[in-house]
Structure 1
């Protein structure tokens, strides 16, 4: 199996994309650590992985809180050793114009999306450099390049993720560490379905969106050794609709 003997950490793994990524890594032999703000949600996904014969560890962790990230990775290193694959998927999004964005909302976006990505990278990077191996996949958003009104704070945080990805890639490419990002389009997840139900302006049909399994295939490819030549990429994964 592609990821036999590898340890993969997926943030925001309690539902939607993160849960899909975690399950696919486990199905391909990885030991998977699931991080999520709501422990009961990541525990449920972990139990589903175990029911399929996979290995999973669920940890409650708000990646925007550096102390929680530190504690989580200390436990990860104690239980499974080094991390081979990190997928920074956890995110916060609320659609507000810049005029209506409070400082509290701004901080939520930056902490959850950009700071959380940085904190998790900082936790795994020394070990990856020491072992001269690692795969880091950061989930950005089509909103960071297509300029949707109401996405100011979200787009700023997600655009920062791409810049961080590309600079980090240059810094670590000689250590056999691949760092790449995905500009993600609208995907059929629980969060998206809730947006559709609450916002009549969103008219995209579910079957026109990206599906979780489609995105997961891209993430798993970027985490594989077949993607070793791909460094510092920010890949458009938009599907039919951005």
Structure 2
């Protein structure tokens, strides 16, 4: 098992990506600590993991509350003995954030992702990084999407926010690398089976006056494979990057766009 005896914190574990990564981590032997603002979806994920023989703990944590984040990471370290992996998969509802031209947006709509995603990743990475640096090992994972590195309309503050998360990841890698901690950002294209992507593609489709299916097809055509990545594909890479088999990877953006971006 790639993550045997590892303790992994997953923020946003009740969502589509966070839950898939939690299941994948647990299947590879990790004890997963599921964190999020709402307990019910976290408990549902934990119950499925436990029913499959995995180990899962649940905590309600607001990732924008630095005291709550610090307290939770301290509890994980005390309870599990170490903090080996931290993955931040938190997200915001996108209605009112995407699907509008930047020149027509309100300041609040543009500002919300800019003040949420970088801060959330800073607080969770800082808390984990302190413990990992002290123990001399660990992996911090972040996740963004292809508009961070391309010129895409109707993204509002999302693309700049994702770009900030990628920059933060590189800075953390530079500072924590000498202390045994790796930092990798997963950059994905849209995952069509997630409820959030259905919402996002609907917003963009409405802006262009086409159907959601037509916009989906347009985005799939932009990839080299002619189909978008799945949540399972993202989770599989997250497992590999979190494991010791990717020990040479840090300070990088893992390209999971299916060729929508070509490095």
Q: CA RMSD in A?
A: 2.0
Stretches of structure 2 lacking an aligned partner (at least 5 in a row):
221-225
Distance 1:72 1:102 in 2: 35
| Structure possessing the higher radius of gyration over alpha carbons | 2
Q: Equivalences for 1:9-24 in 2 at 5 Å?
A: 9-24=9-24
Q: Equivalences for 1:51-130 in 2 at 5 Å?
A: 51-92=51-92, 93=94, 94-95=97-98, 96-130=100-134
Of residues 157-166 and 93-102 in structure 1, the stretch that sits farther from structure 2 once superposed is 93-102
Partner of 1:155: 159
Q: 1:181 to 1:124 in 2, by over 3 A?
A: same
Report deviation, 1:154.
0.7
Q: Deviations over 1:118-161 (max 9, x none)?
A: 00011111111111101111101101111211213111111001
Residues 2, 240 of structure 2: 8 Å contact kept: no
Q: 1:145 to 1:223 in 2, by over 3 A?
A: same
SS in 2 for 1:161: helix
Alignment partner of 1:208 out of 222, 227, 235: 227
Report deviation, 1:196.
4.0
TM-score (norm 2): 0.84
Q: 1:223 to 1:53 in 2, by over 3 A?
A: same
Residues 229, 258 of structure 2: 8 Å contact kept: yes
Partner of 2:196: 191
Report deviation, 1:199.
5.2
How many residue pairs get matched? 242
Report deviation, 1:198.
5.7
